[in-house]
């Protein structure tokens, strides 16, 4: 076992702005506190100007107070460190203390914020990066106000309320809804789909359950994994969910109620005061913080006490209920302040962080990092991990992910302060290549050596369910590294109807190539290879990705050999699966290589109910397409004037999708080279997940001319889309040169 011992690897410095010692009363109101699980960090909003140096924007900002180091940090700043140009409010801090999520009117927190509306942002204290999360499935800006946010323990799932109508497909209820944003997959889930509307959401620490109320005060619970919704009672205010979602506390007509998921029942909380106006539950569901008209109460299983006599504002509890935080007006002070009740100073609660990459520095997601004392986390989209709440002592960090080995196998750490910088290098296990090599010598034909392709004959067989090159790759990935490409592709098509797939099956090489591209796992041929990479080709030269193999040997980052199921060729006259030399022909026809980066996780939110989509794809290199609708609005590289349209440049293919299409469309296909370019143009309509129409054109675009193809989209009496080309496909050619921007 490779084990490295490290003492104080790097001092953790997570400030996004200049810090000043705490203990100085804010010179203006401070409100809306949120506390991390270990009670160390408190996020809050304030109008004060003396909490961080150079805070002179005169606006409400977001701060984080570190109780252990007695420091306050300004987090609502732009990536360049500039002060924001709008108020920021209502922060929540993730349980591990890494992320601060808040709402803001600012337009300069991220580039391209032009909607002039309140948005939801997430600030990463580990990397210093900020991202806007109140965006649609396609990444577009929201067209409505977003607020009332919450975040799970790890910071992956962010829930919020919004009246926007463009965050998901067919949001037509003209009301506020509750949305979940997945920072790993960038998927948007409508949590309040089963209700007329949704507001005031709260998410469990494990990210599985979201409680929200409706405008009629019905309290609902959405199960993110199962995509089910349960009504559990009536609530006047925001509910509070325990870490696992097993207990949900809420206020109904002044009574504190607790819903028990195991019992499927809500019961009054013993010892709770009457006339309650709000409640917070600890992660372990053992402690409740309850507000009354003019007091704040702490209630346990056997005791209840008045924590604060007076009018408290927002409040929160640490994971075990040891620390309570709230805002209140303190005698002798002019402005509202943040008050903490509990241990006077949190000591010895440290944070460990690092990253997992492959040998070429590309991040690896969803790697499980265990600390040796029963806790674990997983790496995010950028390969980072973050574990919090460590007391001083010795710990062992161990990475694990099916299909990978790691260097080192573990870090042995002696921890006496916050540290970051632990790096694990991941390498695909030899199992992937071993699995592919089991196919060597297998017949490349549909019958697999048997007289009847559907009846086994007892002959040796490992892979090649249908005798295609894709089966070798699917077999090696599925059984070598436990990555089911075909299932993942189908889930991606299910969740993202704007993604064009011809067959929606990874046993089609072109669809497999598209999947790796859409999920960010396709790498340009110019970048270095690793053994086990899947490599794609256009052997026919007609624009279609028609072959895939597995690179088995690499020298200086370039392929030397590959395991291939190509059938009979000059290099492989037997037609059996073989390990072949990398030739100039391969070099000239390669269209990228794919490497599983671990970032995919199946999406269970389901295909948007009733979503109707027009999908188009232009396959081939050196060509450019532009689609114009009957109102003269166009979509292309650099153009976007059609609402709900999405353009993708896949290097060797362009795709454009339209939500809720209708009427006449014309595509203009242009060569951007000085020679004729073969192409394949495909149009298809989808209604509720079904492909209801398709036509395909194979052609060649000559230099200095434009190919035009026209069609219409209609709907039948059942609302299903169809394609109409009454007069046939028109191939008008227009003289003139137009280069791709």
- At residue 128, the pLDDT reads 92
- pLDDT at residue 733, rounded to an integer: 38
Please answer whether residues 254 and 263 qualify as being in contact, where contact means their C-beta atoms are separated by less than 8 angstroms.
Answer: no
pLDDT-based confidence at residue 442 (cuts at 50, 70, 90): confident
Asked if the model's pLDDT at residue 602 lies above 80, the reply is no
CA distance 200 to 248: 14
Percentage of residues in the chain with pLDDT exceeding 70? 90
Give the model confidence (pLDDT) of 148-180 as tens digits. 999 999 999 999 999 999 898 778 889 999 999
pLDDT value of residue 604? 60
What token pair was written down for 655? 């795709």
Residue 465 predicted with pLDDT over 80: no
Question: Are 525 and 590 a contacting pair, CB within 8 Å?
Answer: yes
Q: To the nearest whole number, what is the mean pLDDT of the chain?
A: 88
pLDDT of residue 333: 83
pLDDT of residue 488: 92
Task: Please determine, for residue 658, whether its predicted confidence score (pLDDT) is greater than 80.
Answer: yes
Cis peptide before 408 (omega within 30 of 0): yes
Angle between helix 485-495 and 469-480 (nearest 10): 100
Model pLDDT for residues 515-529, shown as the tens digit of each residue: 999 999 999 999 999
Tell me the C-alpha distance between 704 and 259, whole Å: 70
- Dump strand ranges (E) for 595-633: 612-619, 623-629
pLDDT tens sequence across 61-93? 999 999 998 899 999 998 888 889 999 999 999
Average pLDDT over residues 199-208: 97
Spatial separation of the C-alpha atoms in residues 397 and 395, rounded to whole Å: 7
Would you state the structure tokens that stand for residue 149, as one six-digit string? Answer: 């946010």
What is the DSSP secondary-structure string of 268-288?
EPTTPPSS--EEEE-TTSS-E
Least confident residue range of 4-18, 47-61, 213-227, 703-717: 4-18
Region of poorest pLDDT, from 170-174, 428-432, 496-500, 513-517: 170-174
Q: Provide CB contacts within 8 A for 108, sequence distance 6+.
A: 78, 82, 84, 85
Phi, psi of 475 (to 5 degrees): -65, -45
Residue 407 reports pLDDT greater than 90? yes
Q: pLDDT class for 707, splitting at 50, 70, 90?
A: very high
Least confident among 10-14, 104-108, 447-451:
10-14
Residue 129 has pLDDT above 60, yes or no: yes
Q: What is the pLDDT of residues 330-360, one digit of tens each?
A: 888 888 999 998 876 667 899 999 999 999 9
pLDDT of residue 446: 55
What's the pLDDT score for residue 16? Answer: 34
Q: How far apart are CA 37 and CA 283, in angstroms?
A: 8
Q: How confident is the model at residue 24 (pLDDT cuts 50, 70, 90)?
A: low
pLDDT score of 626 more than 90: yes
Strand locations in 83-208 (E) = 88-93, 99-104, 119-124, 130-132, 146-151, 157-162, 177-182, 188-190, 199-203
Q: Quote the pLDDT of residue 41.
A: 95
Exposure of 450 by Cβ count < 10 A (0-12 exposed, 13-18 middle, 19+ buried)?
middle
> How far apart (Å, rounded) are the C-alpha atoms in residues 221 and 235?
12
Q: Which residues contact 262 (CB under 8 A, 6 or more apart)?
A: 246
- The mean pLDDT value for 289-305 works out to 93
Lowest-pLDDT range of 205-214, 365-374, 608-617:
608-617
Query: What integer pLDDT is reported at residue 739 of this predicted model?
Result: 32
Query: How do strand 3-7 and strand 410-415 relate by DSSP bridges?
Result: parallel
Closest CA to 111 of 97, 128, 81, 132: 132
Residue 39 has a pLDDT of 93
pLDDT of residue 731: 38
Q: What is the DSSP secondary structure assignment for residue 384, as one 8-state letter?
A: E
- Work out the average pLDDT over 35-43: 95
Give pLDDT, residue 734: 33
Report whether pLDDT(609) > 80.
Answer: no
Decide: 676 and 701 in contact? Cβ < 8 Å: yes
As given in the structure block, the two tokens for residue 386 are: 């973050």
Residue 542 near residue 549 (C-beta atoms within 8 A):
no
More confident residue, 125 or 54: 125
CA angle 508, 514, 517 (to 5 degrees): 145
Q: How far is Cα 143 from Cα 29, in angstroms, rounded to an integer?
A: 31
**Which pLDDT does position 598 carry in this prediction?**
85
Q: Is 668 helix (H, G, I), strand (E, B) or coil?
A: strand
pLDDT-based confidence at 460, cuts 50/70/90?
Answer: very low
Does residue 574 have a pLDDT over 90?
no
Range with the poorest average pLDDT among 304-313, 397-406, 456-465, 485-494: 456-465
Most confident of 342-351, 526-535, 643-652, 717-726: 526-535
Judged against a pLDDT cut of 80, whether residue 309 lies above it is answered with yes
Phi, psi of 572 (to 5 degrees): -130, 75
Work out the pLDDT band at 4, boundaries 50, 70, 90: very low
Average pLDDT of the residues in 178-202: 94
Predicted confidence at residue 732, as pLDDT, reads: 35
The reported pLDDT for the residue numbered 26 is: 85
- Helices 485-495/509-518 angle, 10° precision: 60
Q: Name the H helices within 496-560.
A: 509-518
Distance (Å, rounded) from C-alpha 729 to C-alpha 707?
A: 11
The reported pTM is: 0.88
């Amino acid at each position: 076992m490779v084990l490295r011992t490290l003492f104080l690897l790097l001092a953790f410095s997570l400030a996004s702005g200049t810090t000043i010692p705490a203990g100085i009363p804010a010179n203006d109101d401070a409100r809306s506190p949120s506390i991390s699980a270990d009670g160390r960090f408190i996020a809050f909003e304030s109008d004060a100007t003396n909490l961080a140096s150079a805070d002179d924007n005169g606006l409400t900002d977001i701060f984080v107070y570190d109780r252990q180091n007695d420091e306050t940090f300004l987090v609502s700043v732009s990536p360049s460190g500039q002060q924001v140009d709008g108020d920021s409010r209502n922060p929540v801090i993730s349980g591990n203390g890494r992320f601060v999520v808040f709402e803001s009117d600012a337009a300069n927190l991220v580039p391209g914020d032009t909607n002039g509306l309140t948005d939801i942002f997430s600030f990463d204290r580990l990397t210093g990066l900020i991202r806007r999360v109140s965006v649609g499935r396609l990444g577009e800006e929201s067209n409505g106000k977003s607020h009332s946010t919450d975040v799970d323990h790890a910071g992956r799932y962010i829930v919020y309320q919004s009246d926007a109508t463009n965050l998901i497909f067919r949001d037509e209820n003209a009301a506020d809804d509750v949305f979940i944003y997945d920072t790993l997959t960038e998927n948007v889930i409508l949590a309040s789909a089963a209700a007329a509307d949704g507001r005031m959401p709260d998410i469990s620490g494990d990210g599985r359950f979201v409680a929200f109320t409706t405008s009629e005060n019905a309290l609902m619970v959405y199960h993110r994994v199962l995509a089910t919704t349960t009504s559990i009672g009536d609530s006047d205010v925001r509910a509070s969910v325990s870490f696992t979602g097993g207990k949900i506390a809420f206020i109904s007509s002044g009574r504190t109620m607790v819903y028990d998921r195991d019992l499927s029942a809500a019961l009054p909380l013993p010892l709770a005061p009457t006339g309650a106006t709000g409640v917070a539950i600890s992660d372990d569901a053992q402690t409740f913080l309850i507000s009354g008209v003019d007091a704040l109460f702490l209630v346990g299983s056997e005791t209840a006490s008045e924590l604060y006599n007076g009018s408290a504002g927002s409040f929160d509890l640490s994971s075990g209920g040891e620390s309570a935080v709230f805002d209140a007006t303190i005698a002798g002070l002019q402005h509202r302040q943040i008050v903490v009740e509990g241990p006077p100073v949190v000591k010895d609660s440290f944070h460990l962080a690092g990253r997992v990459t492959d040998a070429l520095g590309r991040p690896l997601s969803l790697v499980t990092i265990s600390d040796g004392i029963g806790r674990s986390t997983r790496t995010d989209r950028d390969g980072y991990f973050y574990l919090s709440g460590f007391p001083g002592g010795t710990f062992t960090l161990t990475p694990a992910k099916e299909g990978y080995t790691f260097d080192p196998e573990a870090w042995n750490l002696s921890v006496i302060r916050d540290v970051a910088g632990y790096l694990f290098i991941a390498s695909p296990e030899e199992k992937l290549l071993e699995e592919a090599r089991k196919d060597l010598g297998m017949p490349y034909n549909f019958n697999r050596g048997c007289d009847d392709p559907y009846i086994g004959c007892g002959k040796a067989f490992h892979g090649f369910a249908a005798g295609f090159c894709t089966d070798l790759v699917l077999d090696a990935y599925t059984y070598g590294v436990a990555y089911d490409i075909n299932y993942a592709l189908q889930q991606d098509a299910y969740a993202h109807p704007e993604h064009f797939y011809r067959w929606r099956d990874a046993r089609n090489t072109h669809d497999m190539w598209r999947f790796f591209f859409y999920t960010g796992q396709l790498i340009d041929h110019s970048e270095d290879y690793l053994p086990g990479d899947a490599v794609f080709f256009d052997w026919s030269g007609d624009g279609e990705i028609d072959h895939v193999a597995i690179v088995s040997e690499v020298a200086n980052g370039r392929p030397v050999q590959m395991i291939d199921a190509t059938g009979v060729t000059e290099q492989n006259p037997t037609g059996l699966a073989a390990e072949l030399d990398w030739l100039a022909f391969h070099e000239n026809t390669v269209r990228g290589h794919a490497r599983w980066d671990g970032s995919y996780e199946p999406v269970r939110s389901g295909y948007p109910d009733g979503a109707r989509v027009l999908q188009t794809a232009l396959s081939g290199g050196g060509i450019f397409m532009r689609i114009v609708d009957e109102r003269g609005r166009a979509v292309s590289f650099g153009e976007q004037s059609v609402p709900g349209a999405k353009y993708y440049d896949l290097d060797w293919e362009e795709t454009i999708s339209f939500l809720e299409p209708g009427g006449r469309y014309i595509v203009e296909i242009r060569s951007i080279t000085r020679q004729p370019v073969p192409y394949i143009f495909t149009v298809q309509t989808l209604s509720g997940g079904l492909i209801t129409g398709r036509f395909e054109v194979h052609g060649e675009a000559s230099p200095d001319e434009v190919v035009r193809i026209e069609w219409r989209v209609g709907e039948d009496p059942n609302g299903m889309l169809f394609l109409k080309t009454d007069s046939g496909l028109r191939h008008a050619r227009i003289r003139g040169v137009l280069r791709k921007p």
